[in-house]
Structure formats: structure tokens, C-alpha cells
């Protein structure tokens, strides 16, 4: 059959071309408590929580902390830690570590303060799915709960998590906004004509004076995307013509952590403390915690006061504070001064793991 160079007859002006990516304004019904949500997929932050979910800090309240003993590291422990450290460094010899003479082992009192604020925030957005006859939880089943009243299952405290839930009674079924309920849309490659210029001959019908085999000389051939029909299945409703719209609530739990170690200029890089454990001797957990008071290290008291205030301003404005916890750990730090071959050196043993840090280690003379 000879194909003619004309548009395919399937062009149907009543079937729309692919529509906008989101339903147009006014397409969806307004739901009380979610008025700010428009049709697009972006989430709207819901803030702040209502007053009854809002903890109120009491003024002039403080937390007191017990006194602690500073742990002491013995020469044996200090040497063992250094040997372990040296074995991991291929350029270091264990000979100096075995033969050095200790001159001084000085323990430092290092406290690490930590404040955790466990927050919950909520946002909502309109979502949709293909409607194929599933149950529709619409407004006839009752009033939709307000964002902060939607019930969700809580994760364990201080655990980060994101949960998405469908807000009850917000569902409705509408004609698909993309295809206007037709199930199909006009192909945007060929604009619904079903045929396109032949790529082999660039529409000439021939090349090198020979009839083009790709289009049998017609210069046009069936559109590859819609296979000549001019129409493609609507990818919003998958051809089902209807969409189920609903409001999705996103609940985000986040543990906000602040850590502080005072820098006492001991020659030890303070960042090293981040990767070791300490001895936990003070833990204070409550809906809200209060500044540490009467603790011998004034810098820790100040850090506690500032961090609590900062977390309160930062997180109570946009989220709900569910719980707070403050801890103080004693992180062991000992400076070991020793002599080796009539020269003085030093290194640090730190953390309950007895890790070692040294800026300088004696060169071994065993290598010839």
C-alpha cells in the first residue's frame, strides 16, 4: 500500500496535549488547617505547633552536677598505648617506646558537654495516585484532623526518622487534570498528527536520486513515540481517566546535637576528642533541661546555658520539642613526657580507648 504524504486522520482537537505538571489553582478543594497547600507537590511547613503542645521553660531553674575524680594513667598503661600506636605506623620503630624513660605523667581534666534536643516538625502537601476504584476516604467520613492532631506512631526517643501519612478524610476523586479525563493525550512529538518528517531523507523522499527506503518516497513516516496514532496514554492516570487526590503529612523527627569541649591550650588538638569515648558521669533528661549550675568548670556551665537558650530559640519556632537531654563526660587526657637518648619528647594518651597522639617521635637508629 502506498503511503500518502498527509497528516494522519487521528488528530482529535478535543483531546488535550500534555497538561501542566500540577493541577491548576482551584482544582482541589480547600481543607481546613491545610489552606496553604496548593496543588503542587512541594511541602508546606506547618509551624509552630499549637500552645498546648508547646513546652514553656521555667526561669531560674538549674541542674546541679556531682563532683568527679580525674582518672590517672599509669606508666604501664601509657607505654602499652604508645606501643600499640607505633605498631600501626610503619615508619615508627617500637624500640624508643620500649626503652624510653618517663619523666612526667600529667592528667588533665577534660569535660565534654552535650545537649540533645529531640524535635518533631510537620509539613503537608497535596498528592495524587491513579484511581482504579479503591476506597476513597473523603470528607463524608468526618472532619479532617488539624496537622498537629493527625495521629502517628512515634519512633524511639532521640531517633531520626521521617514518616509520611495520609491525612484522614481529605481524599477525593477528580477527572485527571493532565488529560481532562480522556485517558490519553496528544503526542507532543508529532503534535497529534501521528506522522513526522523522515529522518533518513530529511523529508526529501529520496537521496542520491534513489527513492528513500525509510519512507517509500513520501518524505514522512509514522511517529516513533505514538506509533502513528497521534495519541499516547496519559502518564498521570495511566489511562484510568481519574485521579485520587489527598493531603499527605510528612512528619520529621530529628535529634539536634550540640557538643562542647573547652580548649585548654595543652598542645593537644581538640578535634581529636570527637572520635573517642569518655566516662559519662552526669545525665539529665526531661521535656526541657535547665542550665548546669555549680559545676567546677565554669566554661561547661556557660556552654550549657548558651546551648539551651540557642536550641530553644532555634527549634521552638519551627518545630515541637519532644525531649531534651544534657550529659557531661570526663574524657581522659594524659600528657606523657619522656626522655630517649638524652632528648625530651612528649605524647598524649586520650579517651577511654587510650588512644595516642604525638607530634614528634624519636627516630630509630636500628636501620643501617
Closest to Zn ion by CB, 178 or 268:
178
Calpha distance 93→365 (Å, rounded): 9
Candidate residues 81, 115, 150, 179; the one interacting with Zn ion per rule CB under 5 A: 179
Which CB, 145 or 183, lies closer to Zn ion? Answer: 183
**Shortest distance in whole angstroms from residue 185 CB to Zn ion:** 7
Q: Which of 28, 31, 190, 244 binds Zn ion (CB under 5 A)?
A: 190
Q: Does 108 bind Zn ion (CB under 5 A)?
A: no
- Residues numbered 119-178 forming contacts with Zn ion, rule: CB under 5 A: 176, 178
Task: Give me the least distance between CB of 245 and Zn ion, in Å please.
Answer: 13
- In the complex with Zn ion, which residue's Cβ is closer, 65 or 226? 226
CA distance 216 to 28: 50
Closest to Zn ion by CB, 171 or 240: 240
Stretch that binds Zn ion, among 120-128, 192-200, 263-271, 322-330 (CB under 5 A): 192-200
Using CB under 5 A as the criterion, what x/- string covers residues 199-238 for binding Zn ion?
-xx----------x-xx-------x-xx-------x-xx-
* CB of 253 closer than 8 Å to CB of 119: yes
Q: Is 250:163 a contact under the CB 8 Å cutoff? A: yes
Q: Is the dihedral of CA 278, 280, 282, 283 positive or negative?
A: positive
Residue 361 and residue 135 in contact, taking contact as beta carbons nearer than 8 Å: no
Compute the least distance from the CB of residue 193 to Zn ion, in Å: 7
Binding of Zn ion at residue 15 (CB under 5 A)? Answer: no
Using CB under 5 A as the binding criterion, the count of chain residues that bind Zn ion stands at 18
Grid-cell match 610503619, residue found: 90
Which secondary-structure segment (H or E) carries 327?
Answer: strand 320-330
Backbone φ and ψ of 141, nearest 5°: -90, 0
The neighbouring-strand residues paired with 108 are 333
State the minimum distance, in angstroms, from the CB of residue 167 to Zn ion.
Answer: 24
DSSP 8-state symbol, 103? E
CA distance 45 to 185: 34
Q: Which alpha helices (H) appear in 51-175, and where do they start and end?
A: 75-87, 95-99
Rule CB under 5 A: which residues touch Zn ion? 176, 178-179, 187, 189-190, 198, 200-201, 212, 214-215, 223, 225-226, 234, 236-237
Amino acid at each position: 500500500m502506498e503511503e500518502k504524504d498527509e497528516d494522519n486522520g487521528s488528530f482529535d482537537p478535543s483531546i488535550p496535549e500534555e497538561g501542566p505538571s500540577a493541577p491548576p489553582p482551584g482544582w482541589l478543594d480547600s481543607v481546613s488547617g491545610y489552606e496553604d497547600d496548593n496543588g503542587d507537590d512541594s511541602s508546606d511547613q506547618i509551624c509552630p505547633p499549637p500552645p498546648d503542645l508547646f513546652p514553656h521553660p521555667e526561669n531560674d531553674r538549674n541542674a546541679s552536677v556531682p563532683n568527679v575524680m580525674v582518672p590517672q594513667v599509669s606508666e604501664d598503661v601509657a607505654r602499652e598505648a604508645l606501643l600499640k600506636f607505633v605498631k600501626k605506623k610503619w615508619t615508627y620503630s617500637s624500640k624508643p617506646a620500649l626503652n624510653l624513660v618517663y619523666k612526667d605523667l600529667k592528667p588533665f581534666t577534660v569535660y565534654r558537654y552535650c545537649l540533645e534536643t529531640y524535635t518533631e516538625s510537620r509539613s503537608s502537601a497535596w498528592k495524587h495516585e491513579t484511581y482504579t476504584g479503591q476506597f476513597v476516604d473523603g470528607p463524608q467520613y468526618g472532619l479532617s484532623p488539624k496537622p498537629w492532631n493527625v495521629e502517628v506512631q512515634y519512633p524511639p526517643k532521640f531517633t531520626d526518622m521521617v514518616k509520611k501519612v495520609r491525612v484522614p478524610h481529605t481524599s477525593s476523586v477528580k477527572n485527571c487534570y493532565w488529560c481532562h479525563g480522556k485517558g490519553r493525550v496528544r503526542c507532543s512529538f508529532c503534535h497529534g498528527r501521528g506522522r513526522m518528517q523522515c529522518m533518513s531523507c530529511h523529508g526529501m523522499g529520496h537521496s542520491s536520486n534513489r527513492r528513500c527506503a525509510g519512507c517509500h518516497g513520501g518524505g514522512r513516516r509514522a511517529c516513533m513515540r505514538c506509533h502513528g496514532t497521534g495519541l499516547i496514554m496519559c502518564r498521570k492516570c495511566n489511562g484510568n481517566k481519574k485521579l485520587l487526590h489527598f493531603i499527605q503529612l510528612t512528619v520529621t523527627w530529628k535529634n539536634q546535637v550540640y557538643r562542647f569541649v573547652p580548649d585548654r591550650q595543652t598542645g593537644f588538638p581538640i578535634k581529636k576528642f570527637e572520635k573517642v569515648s569518655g566516662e559519662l558521669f552526669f545525665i539529665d533528661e526531661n521535656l526541657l533541661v535547665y542550665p548546669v549550675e555549680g559545676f567546677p568548670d565554669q566554661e561547661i556551665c556557660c556552654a550549657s546555658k548558651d546551648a539551651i537558650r540557642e536550641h530553644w530559640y532555634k527549634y521552638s519556632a519551627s518545630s515541637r520539642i519532644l525531649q531534651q537531654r544534657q550529659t557531661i563526660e570526663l574524657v581522659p587526657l594524659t600528657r606523657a613526657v619522656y626522655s630517649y637518648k638524652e632528648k625530651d619528647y612528649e605524647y598524649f594518651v586520650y579517651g577511654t580507648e587510650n588512644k595516642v597522639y604525638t607530634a614528634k617521635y624519636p627516630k630509630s637508629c636500628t636501620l643501617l
